[in-house]
């Protein structure tokens, strides 16, 4: 879906948030120029690397999030004028750089919009431009904490636990991309520029599931570990993990039809209320059943539509038939990392869209020529 192929994007980013948004722009056909500090984008310095040898060209985080972009190295302290010209000639500026850095060098929205009235600018920061935390320092973990997602993940009695990766920044990247495309639609009609400021904390808090029940009914959810209840939770199987999903009557009947144990027809388990009352007994019975099954057996049940899912790892997913059918795994040749797999964007299933590898540092520095 090369819907943005008429657009030029300048990405001035330091975190995964704007990097994800820029990656999605590139997947949608836009030309994305990543402005990196002379030492390279921070994602280039995040492990793991090819063969576990630190190399700013072969960081997996960089290869994934920066795929399809061009790279320009620029020192904002000495080359700000060139950066401003580059941005003024683009359609979209994506950034997650603090105002303290942007404003003094002419990259504030006020300065840029005066110079380039049709520019779209999307700025993602930990806490936004306004409010008492506007000047707070942030990180992925701190935004998960203040956005409410951290407290509810992990085991009761142990500390709250972040999920793997930069999930707060990923959510913000998705949200920033959607918001940016929304502004593209507005500009298509009006010809005018737009500014979008987005806070990672806001996005995290907006994406919280039980907010309504908490705010309006007084429930305060907490960490529940692997199992919410016997009919909704993760169980160990013979060689892995399986999630049983039978919290509604029809789902329970489906689960019974695959577990095939007469004991499940007992009065004790005959209604949702009684299943909750006899939760521990039910969980023990179901655990015995899951432990008797292999991932492969359970995977077959899942494909037939029984209410369960099976844990998969990178190896099994990269080789899975579903992704092959969907064309989701793209193999790209990278000058330093060699042939590597990169996942396509979630909406690229079945699309012929080409994904290019992440850029070598400064591979497009010629774009600065003549910009001062």
First-to-last C-alpha distance (Å) of the chain: 36
* C-beta closer to other proteins: residue 221 or 285: 221
Contacts of 110 (CB under 8 A, 6+ apart): none
Select the residue interacting with other proteins from 88, 101, 224, 355 (CB under 8 A).
224
* C-beta closer to other proteins: residue 73 or 199: 199
Select the residue interacting with other proteins from 109, 177, 269, 289 (CB under 8 A).
177
Please check whether residue 210 is in contact with residue 148, taking contact to mean a CB–CB distance below 8 angstroms: no
Binding residues for other proteins restricted to 29-68, rule: CB under 8 A: 42, 45-48, 50-52, 58, 60-61, 63-65
Select the residue interacting with other proteins from 292, 294, 322, 365 (CB under 8 A).
322
Site string for other proteins, 279-318 (x = CB under 8 A): -----------------------xxxxxxxxxxxxxx-xx
Burial class (CB in 10 A: 0-12, 13-18, 19+), 88: middle
What are phi and psi for residue 355, nearest 5 degrees?
Answer: -115, 125
Measured between alpha carbons, how far is 68 from 27 in angstroms, rounded to an integer? 7
Site string for other proteins, 127-166 (x = CB under 8 A): xxxxxxx--xxxxxxxxxxxxxxxxxxxx--xxxxxxxx-
Measured between alpha carbons, how far is 32 from 169 in angstroms, rounded to an integer? 19
Minimum distance, C-beta of residue 372 to other proteins, in the bound complex (Å): 31
Measured between alpha carbons, how far is 359 from 237 in angstroms, rounded to an integer? 42
Binding residues for other proteins restricted to 188-207, rule: CB under 8 A: 188, 194, 196-199, 201-203, 205-207
Q: What is the three-class DSSP state of 27?
A: helix
Select the residue interacting with other proteins from 250, 262, 267, 352 (CB under 8 A).
250
Select the residue interacting with other proteins from 262, 267, 280, 321 (CB under 8 A).
321
Eight-class DSSP state of 345: P
Minimum distance, C-beta of residue 371 to other proteins, in the bound complex (Å): 30
Binding residues for other proteins restricted to 66-125, rule: CB under 8 A: none
Number of residues binding to other proteins, judged by CB under 8 A: 150
Site string for other proteins, 255-284 (x = CB under 8 A): ----------------xxx-----------
* C-beta closer to other proteins: residue 288 or 300: 300
E-strand ranges in the chain read: 8-12, 31-36, 70-73, 92-95, 120-125, 194-199, 227-229, 232-237, 240-245, 308-310, 329-334, 338-343
């Amino acid at each position: 879906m090369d819907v943005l192929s008429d657009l030029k994007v300048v990405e001035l980013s330091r975190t995964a948030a704007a990097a994800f948004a820029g990656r999605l722009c590139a997947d949608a056909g836009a030309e994305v120029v990543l402005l990196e500090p002379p030492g390279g984008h921070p994602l280039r310095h995040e492990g793991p690397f090819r063969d576990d040898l630190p190399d700013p060209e072969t960081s997996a985080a960089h290869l994934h999030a920066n795929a399809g972009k061009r790279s320009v190295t620029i020192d904002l302290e000495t080359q700000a004028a060139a950066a401003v010209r580059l941005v003024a000639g683009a359609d979209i500026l994506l950034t997650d750089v603090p105002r303290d850095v942007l404003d003094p060098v002419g990259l504030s929205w006020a300065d840029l919009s005066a110079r380039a009235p049709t520019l779209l600018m999307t700025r993602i920061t930990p806490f936004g431009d306004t409010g008492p935390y506007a000047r707070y320092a942030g990180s992925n973990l701190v935004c998960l904490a203040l956005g409410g997602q951290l407290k509810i993940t992990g085991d009761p009695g142990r500390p709250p636990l972040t999920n793997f990766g930069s999930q707060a920044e990923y959510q913000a990247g998705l949200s920033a991309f959607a918001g940016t495309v929304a502004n593209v639609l507005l500009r298509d009609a009006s010809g005018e520029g737009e500014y979008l400021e987005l806070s990672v904390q806001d996005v995290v808090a907006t994406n919280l599931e039980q907010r309504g029940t908490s705010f309006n009914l007084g429930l305060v959810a907490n960490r529940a570990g692997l199992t919410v209840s016997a009919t909704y939770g993760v169980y160990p199987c013979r060689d892995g993990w399986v999630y049983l999903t039978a919290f509604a009557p029809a789902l329970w009947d489906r689960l019974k039809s695959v577990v095939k144990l007469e004991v499940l027809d007992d009065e004790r388990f005959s209604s949702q209320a009684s299943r909750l009352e006899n939760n521990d007994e039910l969980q023990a019975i179901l655990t015995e059943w899951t432990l008797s099954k292999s991932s492969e057996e359970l995977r077959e049940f899942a494909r037939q539509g029984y209410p369960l899912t099976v844990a998969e790892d990178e190896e099994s997913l990269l080789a899975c038939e579903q992704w092959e059918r969907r064309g989701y795994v793209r193999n790209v040749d990278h000058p330093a990392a060699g042939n590597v797999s990169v996942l396509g964007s979630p909406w690229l299933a079945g699309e012929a869209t080409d994904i290019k590898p992440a850029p070598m540092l400064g591979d497009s520095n010629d774009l600065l020529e003549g910009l001062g």
